[in-house]
Structure 1
Amino acid sequence: MMGAARINRALRRVPAWPVYVVGMVPAVWFFWLGATGGLGVEPITALEHRLGLTGLQVLIASLAVTPLRRVSGIDLVRFRRALGLVGFFYIALHLAVWLILDLQSWQRVWADILKRPYITIGMSGFLLLLPLALTSNTLAVRKLGPLRWRRLHRLAYLAIPLGAIHFVMLAKGWQIAPLAYLAAILGLLALRIRGLRTRAAA
């Protein structure tokens, strides 16, 4: 744990804002590729998928913060809020590309949500993330109180798996990558829930 202590001391000198800056770089790159023909013959679909997958990856990283601290002693908690917001940003862009560039018709939105189960699940995950993004600030913590704020943000334990299920259902056939993402999320949740139960029993 001495190595972890040194890493934590170094991390305390790093502000959270670089996470936002670095986190936005792939989005700019994806849109640039889409605008310059770098995303293949179906650029809108490719852009949707890249944004959604990046969002899921960042949300998984935010979910891994507490298990990582418990297992290795490395404390990234101060960056977790930034990771969550960056992940939400990508999911919101994923949704915006679907709504504005793909469907191009508000009349089709509700029809697709009701008709296609994978869209229903994906939209449910996004709606669960929305209040978390809106309350990811110090003012919201003061207004809600720490206990209610933490309870509200446990919605992430449902929203992120829904995103992975959306990915699994979207993939054609039983592909390994979507299932691996879902398995990783369920594993991290199991570690997180085990930690909550241990603290409650202590």
Structure 2
Amino acid sequence: MIDRINAAARRVPTWVVYLILLLPAPYTFYLALSGGLGPDPVKPLEHKYGEIALQLLIAGLCVSPLRQYTHINLIKFRRTLGVLAFTYVALHLLVWALLDVQTIGRVIEDIIKRPYITIGMAGFVLLLPLALTSNNWSVRRLGPRWRKLHKLTYIAVVLGGVHFIWLVKGIQLEPLIYMAVILALLALRYKRLLR
């Protein structure tokens, strides 16, 4: 069964994954324009892009434990998931800056004054060099340093989880579940490193 899954995964080109996982972006934007996200669609659009970004970051974290504990090998899609996660983070940021806040002065003010935005922006800044080096040329050029650099993903995904928890009003279960999953996946890695 595992061999069949791995064989099927090897046959799927990464561009197919890009295409399928990018479809929610224009569809959600269409919903916002057509009233499908309610009378004030900016916040739901912003939150949806952010949530998809966090889900993709978590999916990327799942790749190594899946291979280690179940022998399902999806490693060829890990970089794809990372680039897609960054794409949705960038969309989340653009919707917030251009449609929600709307002025550069207020953007800077919010980053400085609101801790959850500061945390979110820190996560974006950490993901930026990872997105820029997610290509074969950078892998060859950086060598072993590439893997070390891309461990910044672990910090970025934790910051994304904290951003989500602080973003919602009051204590809500959904962001806490996301954070629990993130910490569990990182704990699996820590356990492996200790071995």
Q: How does 1:79-118 map to 2 (within 5 A)?
A: 79-118=77-116
1:195 and 2:192 are equivalent in the alignment: yes
Q: Cα RMSD over matched residues? A: 0.8
1:62 Cα deviation after fit: 0.6
Q: Deviations over 1:54-80 (max 9, x none)?
A: 110011001110011111110000001
Of 155, 158, 163 in structure 2, the residue corresponding to residue 161 of structure 1 is: 158
1:6 Cα deviation after fit: 2.1
Q: AA paired with 2:179? A: L
Listed as ranges, the gaps of 5+ residues in structure 2 are none
Q: AA paired with 1:121? A: I
1:10 Cα deviation after fit: 2.0
Alpha-carbon distance between aligned partners in 2 of 1:19 and 1:80, rounded to the nearest angstrom:
11
Q: What residue number does 2:145 align with? A: 148
Aligned residues: 195
Detail structure 1 runs of 4+ shifted over 3 Å in the superposition. Answer: none
Q: What residue number does 2:23 align with? A: 25
State TM-score, norm by structure 1.
0.94
State TM-score, norm by structure 2.
0.98
Alpha-carbon distance between aligned partners in 1 of 2:14 and 2:152, rounded to the nearest angstrom:
23
Alpha-carbon distance between aligned partners in 2 of 1:84 and 1:42, rounded to the nearest angstrom:
30
Aligned to 2:23, what secondary structure does the other structure show? helix
Q: How does 1:4-83 map to 2 (within 5 A)?
A: 4-83=2-81
1:9 Cα deviation after fit: 1.7
Q: Deviations over 1:73-104 (max 9, x none)?
A: 10000001101111110010000001111111
